[in-house]
Amino acid sequence: MRQARRLTWKQVASQSGVSASTLTRMAQGKRPDVDGLAALAAWSGLSADDYVRSAEARPTPEPLALITTHLRGDKNLSPEAATALDELIKATYHRLRIKE
C-alpha cells in the first residue's frame, strides 16, 4: 500500500497514526500492537490478517466473497444496488464457471 501510494515510511507513520518505530519493528518481522494494527488496517483498507499472517498460512479467499465485500463497501452504491449487482455477478459466475 505504501508503494502504491508512493509514500515514505515517515509519511505512512504520519498518515496512519502509527509510530515510525512500530513500522520499523514490523519491517523486522515483528507484529504490531492492537492499536497499531487497527490504525494500519483503517489507513490501508486491508484486513488485519494481511499484517499478521504469513502468505503460507493465509487461506485463499473465495473470489465471490471478495466481490461481495467490495460491493457492500462501495459508497457509490446503495445497499439495494450492491445486493442487485452481487446477485447478478453470482448468477453469472455460477453459469460460466468451469465445472470440475
Sign of CA dihedral 36, 40, 43, 46: negative
List, run by run, the mean pLDDT of 10-residue segments along the chain (100 residues).
Answer: 81 90 84 86 82 62 82 89 93 86
Neighbour-count burial of 48, counting CB atoms closer than 10 A to its CB (0-12 exposed, 13-18 middle, 19+ buried) = middle
pLDDT of residue 54: 58
Residue 82: name the closest of 98, 64, 67 by CA: 67
pLDDT of residue 44: 85
Q: Residues 57, 76: contact at Cβ < 8 Å?
A: no
In the chain, what are the domain boundaries?
9-52, 63-96
Q: What is the pTM assigned to this prediction? A: 0.49
